[in-house]
Amino acid sequence: MTAGIIGLVLDEANWMPFAMVVSVIAVAVIVRRCRRQGVPQRASTQCGLDLFYGSMLGIMASGHLLAVTVKGVQGLLEGSPWFLYSFGLALALPAWWLVVAGGRLRSTQGPTRRTPLALNAWLGMMLMALGLQNWPLAVPSVFNIAYRFHVRPATGLALVTVASVGYLVLFGGALVFLASGQTFEQFQGMTN
């Protein structure tokens, strides 16, 4: 039983689909709550976008930190633990902060608050700095930032639609990766 749980934690293919499913559930709950409370649609949509992105990355980064810890305890950790923990924390802390800050957005006026904007920018830039393979995960931050500044309802609808399609593509890719049974490096053709 313990070996099975450790296997699930260490299998990097499990984290993204799990994170996305949890994020969809969280967004559904918060959007429903916003509608009941009469929160304007623009604010509740921004909250949903931030919540999805923050919780998805927060879960994945927390999974990374958990896997690094487990591999360190097992003596199987490859690479610098300082770098691996720094990488995980540089994503996990701002991601969870975005969840909290985005949730506060629905209770205040003015969808251009700086904290969620800065957190989206930080997360997008961090993922881009970590390599091309992470760029698809950085793109949603651009849509979150653009939604914050849109003026026309049709533009907002287009941004949410494109972001949603992008998330569906990411989810499909994550399922293909999960079904492949390979490591990330093998899946990307980096190793044999």
Which has the minimum average pLDDT: 53-57, 161-165, 172-176?
172-176
CA torsion angle for 63, 70, 125, 174 (degrees, to 10)?
-50
Q: Which amino acid is at 33?
A: R
Say whether 183 sits in a helix, a strand or coil. Answer: coil
In the chain, which residue ranges form alpha helices assigned H by DSSP? Answer: 2-10, 15-37, 41-74, 81-105, 114-129, 135-149, 153-180, 184-187
Q: Give the separation between CA 110 and CA 103, rounded to whole angstroms.
A: 13
Residue that wins the pLDDT comparison between 180 and 140: 140
Structure tokens at 134: 């992470």
* Closest C-alpha among 46, 23, 25, 24 to residue 34: 46
pLDDT of residue 187: 56
Residue spans of the domains in the chain: they are 2-187
pLDDT of residue 154: 93
pLDDT band at 13 (very low <50, low <70, confident <90, very high): confident
Contacts made by residues 29-37, CB under 8 angstroms, sequence distance 24+ = 30/103, 30/106, 34/106, 37/106
Q: Give the separation between CA 134 and CA 136, rounded to whole angstroms.
A: 6
Q: Would the pLDDT of 119 be above 60?
A: yes
Q: Give the separation between CA 107 and CA 40, rounded to whole angstroms.
A: 10
Q: What percent of the chain has pLDDT over 90?
A: 45
pLDDT of residue 111: 45
pTM of the model: 0.87
Q: Answer for the pair 4, 175: CB distance below 8 angstroms, yes or no.
A: no
- 163-188 average pLDDT score: 79
pLDDT band at 54 (very low <50, low <70, confident <90, very high): very high
- CB-side neighbour CA atoms (13 Å) of 180: 16
Q: Would the pLDDT of 120 be above 80?
A: yes
Q: Answer for the pair 62, 91: CB distance below 8 angstroms, yes or no.
A: no
Q: Give the separation between CA 109 and CA 40, rounded to whole angstroms.
A: 9
